[in-house]
Structures are given as C-alpha cells and as structure tokens.
A = this chain, B = another copy of it.
Amino acid sequence: MVKNPPALEQLIESLRCLPGVGPKSALRMAYHLLQRDRKGASGLALSLDHALQVLGHCTLCNNFSETSICPLCESEKRDISQLCVVEMPTDLMMMEQTQSYTGMYFVLMGRLSPLDGIGPKEINLDKLIKRAQDGMVNEVILATNYTVEGEATAHYISELLKTRGIAVSRIARGLPMGGEIEYVDSGTLSMALLGRKQL
C-alpha cells in the first residue's frame, strides 16, 4: 500500500479542522496549495499565526478585537443606554448598515445549540448579564436570528434578564420589505397578524 508522505498526510489532517471540509476537500486543498499556490499557503500560515496572536475579544461587546476595548465601544457617539444582542459579528455589521441604531452591542459569538455542545457558557452569557447590569443600560434588544436556535437563545436570555429587572425587547417579526402576502410563508404571515399594530 502506497502512502502519502507524512508531511502531506499531516497537512490534510490539519485542513479538516476547517468547517465543511471533509477528507476529499482537504486532499484537494492540500494538492492545490502545494502544487499551484505555495505563496498563498505560506501567507495563510502567517495570517493564522498573526490572528491567533493579536485577536482577542473586546471586554465590553465580546466582538473580535485587537485592543481590549474595540473602536465601536470606545466611540463617544454611541448611546450607552441601549444594548443590542446579536449572534455573530456579521449580524453586527448588518445592523450598522441599517444606520438606524446608535446604541451599544453584545456579540454572543454563537447561539444556544445543545446538540453541538454549545450551552450558555459557550456564548458568554455570564459576560452579557454582567454587561447588562452596569447601571447604564436601560434596554436590552435581542437581535438573534429568527431560527429555532436563535429563538431559543432569545427566550433563554430574556428569562435571565427579566428576573434581574432589566427591560428586554425583541426585534419585530413580520413581512419583509416588498413582501407580497400571496408568496409569503404562512408562519411569517401568522406572526405578522399576531404582531399587528394599532394605526
């Protein structure tokens, strides 16, 4: 039985730590890097090392940051009475793109997902509770996804915060912009009905 050289086997094995990469993809990646993009490979090794060294979490919002407090949390233009809880840094960026929120953020870096071994500790809920009780925060806005896991996470957090007397809200659910009733799914429509507003 012919085997790959040990260094190649080790590289293939290491590549499998990437999410969504199985044995076949890892093999293809290893061949590509070694045969066609050695420069990219050494760049990747450097970037990994650098990122692991300098990237930590902001002590306030828990987002990735190279400094102990990130630029957004340090900004004096933000409204410190509102705290918006999101799952991932990309969600934070989407919120910022709306340009309709000026408060602070807390990034969970995940969602409750017991089957994947992600419980309250993994999404830093202790840190969130502490942050929400700093005396400045008046309202916590839950902006986790409207998926099963995002909903469960929002419910869990709201229970935790309400018992501590903190005002909690959840972003609205309903028809999207440009949404047509004929084509929307019935779950969304029934939620839009339940969440109707007096005009």
User: Interface of A with B (CB < 8 Å)?
Assistant: 1-2, 4-8, 10-11, 13-15, 17-20, 25, 27-35, 37-38, 40-55, 64-66, 70-72, 88-90, 92-93, 96-97, 109-110
Chain B residues positioned under 8 Å from A88 (CB to CB): 31
Cα A53 to Cα B15 in complex, Å, equals 17
Question: Of B14, B72, B92, B110, which contacts A43 at CB under 8 A?
Answer: B14
What residue in chain B is nearest A40 (Cβ atoms)?
A: B17
Number of this chain's copies in the complex: 2
Task: Assess the A11–B51 pair: CB atoms within 8 A.
Answer: yes
Give the secondary structure class of A's interface.
helix
Complex contacts, A92 vs chain B, CB 8 Å: 2
Measured CB to CB, the closest approach of chain B to A133, in angstroms, equals: 25
Residues of the B chain whose Cβ atoms lie less than 8 Å from the Cβ of A1: 96-97
Q: Are B64 and A8 in contact (CB under 8 A)?
A: yes
Shortest distance from the beta carbon of A178 to any chain B beta carbon, whole Å: 23
Are A64 and B34 neighbours in the complex by a CB distance under 8 Å? yes
Partner of A7, one of B25, B54, B96, B110: B54
Note all chain B residues with C-beta closer than 8 A to A8: 51, 55, 64
Q: Which 3 A-B pairs have the closest CB atoms?
A: A17-B40, A14-B47, A45-B48
Chain B residues with CB below 8 A from A10, complex form = 47, 50-51
